[in-house]
Amino acid sequence: MKRDIRSINFNLIKLDQENVRFGGDIAQNQREAIELMLADPEDAKKILKLAEHIALYGLDPTELQLVTPDDEGNYIVLEGNRRLTALKLLQRPDLCTQEKYYKDFLAAHNEIARSFPSEIECSVVATREDGDVWVELKHTGQNGGAGRVPWDSDIRDERRARQTGVESIGRQIREIVRDNPEIFNEIAISDIYQIPVTTLTRLFASKRAQDAFAVFIKDRQIQFKYKLVISAPSIEFAIRMFRHEGYNVNDVRSDDDRKTFLSHIPPELSPEHLHQQSIKPTTTPDGNPTGSEGGAGQGSSGGSHSGSEDDETTDSGSGSPKKGGGNGQKTKAKGSSKSRKYLIPWSLNITNSRINEIYRELRSMLEVERVPNATAITFRVFLEVSCDDYRSRMAHTGSGVYRHDNNKPLTEDDKLAIKITSVAKHLESAGLITKPESKAISRRAAGTQTVGSVDHLNQFVHSTASPPLPSELKDVAEEYLPMLRAIWP
C-alpha cells in the first residue's frame, strides 16, 4: 500500500514518446515529443497557460508525476506529460515549436529562472503496466466513485463564497425565496434548490432579467425595486419553467436566449404591471379615493434594505405579503401551458418501442419554439400511430374499435380524423375519458377550419404556406392529452 515517492533529478525525467495523445505516432526523441505535444495550437495554448501558472504558484502539491524507470537510468512519465512539457519549456523556451508562443514562454522562464527546480518529486512504479490502472482511472471519469468526482456547480459556488465572503447572485436568490415562505409557495421553495446555482446566477446577473424581475445589483447584493411580493410571482414562474417545463442553462446563455426565456412570463405577472395595480386608487366606504400602499418601497437583499424609486419606507423582503396588487390579494404564479419548452412534457407509459422513440423526441428533443415544423409533423405522426396501436391492442382483446360513422371495424387505412373520433368514442364507452373530453377531441379532430384539426395538421405536411405557431401547437397537444393518457396509461 505504501507509495514509492522519490525526488528525481529533473534532467532524468523524460516525456513518454509513446504517449496516447500522439494518436498513432511515436516520437523518435524528446524534442519530437515536445513538438507533438504542441502540434495542436489549442493544446499549445493550454500548456502555455499551465507553464504560466507553475511560474506563478509553483508545482501543484496535490499532483505527483507518475514515472517508471527505463533501461538507461532515466524515468519515463506515464502520467503528467503536459506538466513535464510545461516545465521543459520553462527551462528552455527555445524548444517551443509554436513560434507565436515563444515570447510568452520566455517571459514565464524569466519569472522562474532563479527558482527552477533541480529535482521533482515523483511517484515511481516498476513497470508501465503497473501504472496503467492509475492512468486509466484518472482519465476515464468517476468510475462509480473510484475515479475523480468533480465538484458540481453548488459546491463550486459554496467554495467561492467561503473564499470571497460574497455569495453569488444565484445563491442570494435562493436564500431570498427560502427565507420568505409567506410570499413564495412551498413548491417554489423546494424547486429552487433543484436548479443549479450557476444557472440562477447566469439569469439574474443579466441586465435583461434584472429589468424583467425589477431587481438590481448594489454592492454585489441583489436588491428589489419594489417590495419583494411584487417581484415574487414572476420569479416563481421562472422557477417553474426551469423545474417543470424543460428549461435549463442552455436557454439563458446568451442575451437572445434570455429574451426568449423571459418572454414566456405572462405580462400580468410582471412587477411593473403589479406595481401599477397596487397603486391604483381605491374607494373607501365614505366615497373618498385612497391609494394602495402595496407596491413601492424598499426592497430586499435577503435581509438588508435598498432604496426604491418611491419615498415610502417598508419592510424588507418579507414586508406586506398580502398586498401584491390593488385588491389586497397575493398574486400567484400559475403555470402557463404556453411556457413549456417541449410539446409533450407529460409522462406516458408507452409500451411500443418505436412509438416510444417518437414520444421521447416530442418530450425532450424537439423544442417547440426552435423547430415548430418538425414538432408539428412529428405530433401528427404520434397521434396516428397511437390510435393504430390502440386499435390493434383492442382487437387482440376482443373489444375491437369500430368506426363512429358506420359501425364497421376501424382499419389502419381509415383517415386519421375517423381514427381519432372512433378511438375517443371507444375510450369514452370504456370509462377511460369523460363524455365532454370525447366530444371536445372529436370536434377538434373533425373540424375543417379548426386549429388542431386533422386537416390543419395535414397542412403542415403538404402545404407550403401554412407554418405552425408554437403557441397553437401547445394548445392542440393539451386538447388531445386526455385521449393520449388513456391510450398510454
Q: For residue 301, what is its C-alpha cell?
A: 437583499
Do 269 and 183 fall into the same domain?
Answer: yes
Query: Region 349-376: what's the mean pLDDT?
Result: 91
Do 62 and 176 fall into the same domain?
Answer: no
Do 137 and 233 fall into the same domain?
Answer: no
pLDDT digits (tens, 9 = 90+) for 234-276: 999 999 999 988 889 999 999 999 999 999 898 899 999 999 9
Do 370 and 439 fall into the same domain?
Answer: yes
Counting beta carbons within 10 angstroms of the beta carbon of residue 376, is it exposed (0 to 12), middle (13 to 18) or buried (19 or more)? buried
Query: Region 415-432: what's the mean pLDDT?
Result: 93
Q: 282 or 398: which carries more pLDDT confidence?
A: 398
Count CB neighbours of 414 within 10 A.
17
Q: Return the pLDDT at 354.
A: 92
pLDDT digits (tens, 9 = 90+) for 442-457: 988 988 778 888 888 8
Distance between CA atoms of residues 16 and 27, nearest Å? 8
Do 12 and 133 fall into the same domain?
Answer: yes
Q: 287 or 77: which carries more pLDDT confidence?
A: 77
Residue 23 lies in a domain: yes
Sole residue written with cell 370509462: 431
Q: Quick check: 140 pLDDT over 70? A: yes
Count CB neighbours of 317 within 10 A.
27
Looking at beta carbons, which pairs linking 366-373 to residues 24 or more positions away fall under 8 Å? Answer: 366/342, 367/341, 367/342, 368/340, 368/341, 368/342, 368/343, 368/470, 368/473, 368/474, 369/260, 369/341, 369/470, 372/467, 372/468, 372/469, 372/470, 372/473, 373/460, 373/467, 373/468
Do 133 and 204 fall into the same domain?
Answer: no
pLDDT digits (tens, 9 = 90+) for 303-360: 433 444 443 333 334 333 344 444 445 555 555 556 788 898 888 999 999 999 999 9
CA distances from 232 to 51, 178, 269 (A): 48, 12, 9
Do 137 and 14 fall into the same domain?
Answer: yes
Query: Region 16-44: what's the mean pLDDT?
Result: 90
Q: Quick check: 293 pLDDT over 90? A: no
Looking at 110, 145, 180, the residue that finishes a domain is: 145
Looking at 113, 145, 177, the residue that finishes a domain is: 145
Do 264 and 217 fall into the same domain?
Answer: yes
Cβ contact 332:348 at 8 Å: no
242: nearest Cα among 223, 264, 221: 264
Max alpha carbon distance in the chain (Å)? 104
Average pLDDT, whole number, for the chain?
A: 85
Looking at 272, 306, 340, the residue that finishes a domain is: 306
Q: Return the pLDDT at 330.
A: 57
Residue 210 lies in a domain: yes
Residue 333 lies in a domain: no
Residue 332 lies in a domain: no
CA 112 to chain centre: 42
Number of domains composing the chain: 3
Residue 347 lies in a domain: no
pLDDT digits (tens, 9 = 90+) for 111-127: 998 899 999 999 999 99
SS3 percent helix, strand, coil of the chain, rounded to 5, is 55, 10, 40
Distance between CA atoms of residues 429 and 128, nearest Å? 72
Q: Return the pLDDT at 75.
A: 96
pLDDT digits (tens, 9 = 90+) for 161-216: 676 677 889 999 999 999 999 999 999 999 999 999 889 999 999 999 999 999 99
Query: Region 46-63: what's the mean pLDDT?
Result: 94
Query: Region 139-166: what's the mean pLDDT?
Result: 75
For residue 123, the cross-strand partners are 5, 66
237: nearest Cα among 338, 369, 368: 338
Going by pLDDT thresholds of 50, 70 and 90, the confidence category of residue 69 is very high
Do 286 and 174 fall into the same domain?
Answer: yes
Cβ contact 67:126 at 8 Å: no
Q: Return the pLDDT at 309.
A: 43
Do 135 and 191 fall into the same domain?
Answer: no
Distance between CA atoms of residues 37 and 85, nearest Å? 7
Percent of the residues in the chain that have a pLDDT greater than 70, as a whole number? 86
Residue 16 lies in a domain: yes
Cβ contact 108:87 at 8 Å: no
Residue 393 lies in a domain: yes
Do 133 and 201 fall into the same domain?
Answer: no
Residue 433 lies in a domain: yes
Q: Quick check: 160 pLDDT over 60? A: yes
Q: Which domain holds residue 24?
A: 5-145
Angle (CA) 429-406-419 rounded to 5° is 60
92: nearest Cα among 25, 11, 4, 146: 11
Do 212 and 297 fall into the same domain?
Answer: yes
